[in-house]
Amino acid sequence: MVEIVQGDITAMKVDAIVNAANPSLLGGGGVDGAIHRAAGPRLKAECAMVGGCPTGSAKLTEGYDLPARFVIHAVGPVWRGGDAGEDELLASCYRNVLRLAQEHRIDSIAFPSISTGAYGFPIERACGIALSEIFRALDEGSRLKQIYCVCFSDADFEVYERILATFGE
Ligand code: AR6
User: What is the reported pLDDT for 33?
Assistant: 98
Residue 41: exposure state from Cβ atoms within 10 A (0-12, 13-18, ≥19): exposed
Instruction: Specify which residues 59 forms β-bridges with.
Output: 73
Q: Is the pLDDT of residue 168 over 80?
A: no
Residue 44 sits in a domain whose CATH number is 3.40.220.10
Confidence of residue 169 (pLDDT cuts 50, 70, 90): low
Q: Is residue 150 lining ligand 1, measured as CB closer than 6 Å? A: yes
- Give the distance (Å) from ligand 1 centre to CA of residue 117: 5
**pLDDT, averaged across the chain:** 97
The set of catalytic residues is 32
Task: Give the distance, in angstroms, between the CA of residue 139 and the centroid of all CA atoms in the same chain.
Answer: 19
The pLDDT tens digits for 16-68 are 999 999 999 999 999 999 999 999 999 999 999 999 999 999 999 999 999 99
Residue range 88-93: mean pLDDT, rounded? 98
Residue range 129-139: mean pLDDT, rounded? 97
Mutational test site, ligand 1, from 9, 25, 31, max ligand atoms within 8 Å of CB: 31
Residue having the nearest C-alpha atom to atom 20 of ligand 1: 30
Q: Is residue 30 lining ligand 1, measured as CB closer than 6 Å? A: yes
Strand order in the sheet with 146-151: 2-6, 146-151, 108-111, 16-21, 70-75, 58-62
User: What is the reported pLDDT for 96?
Assistant: 98
- Give the distance (Å) from ligand 1 centre to CA of residue 104: 24
For residues 35 and 65, what is the distance between their CA atoms, to the nearest angstrom?
Answer: 10
The parent domain of residue 146 ranges over 2-165
Number of domains composing the chain: 1
For residues 94 and 138, what is the distance between their CA atoms, to the nearest angstrom?
Answer: 13
Q: Is the pLDDT of residue 70 over 70?
A: yes
* pTM beyond 0.95: yes
| Atom in ligand 1 nearest the alpha carbon of residue 123 | 25
